[in-house]
Structure 1
Amino acid sequence: MIQKVLTFFEKQSFGVCTYLGERFRISISKIRLFFIYSSFLAVGFPLIFYVLAAFVLDVRNYVKRIRTRIWDY
């Protein structure tokens, strides 16, 4: 049961922690722990940042896909 929940969250995560980890060369697990601990301390503000970052990354990937399709023709 726990493994199913972990698998679901790993598949559904938006890649924010992975992107930040690769960008700043920090361990992904440290970034995830930062989001978890700071969410408890800051009453959920980092969750709002995470959702906004996920939205921006999703739009950014969408624009890149469209841009490559336009120039392929």
Structure 2
Amino acid sequence: MSFVTNIRHFFERNGFHVSARLSDRLGMRVTNVRLFFIYISFFTVGLWFGVYLTLAFWLRLKDAVYTKRSSVFDL
């Protein structure tokens, strides 16, 4: 096997039991913990995309309002 495959198998064996360990600790089912992580990841990506669009709108509005005019004839 290649080096990359060995690393992948290592992380699959040791790293992907996070939700199982957390669910054991909290006394919940594993599927509920995994669904929670999936929903939170979609919410946070959507949230930051909304923040990005809001900031882009504000910058566009600021540029439209505060543009420097070099002379009277630029009105």
**Structure of greater Rg:** 2
Q: TM-score, with normalisation over the residues of structure 2? A: 0.49
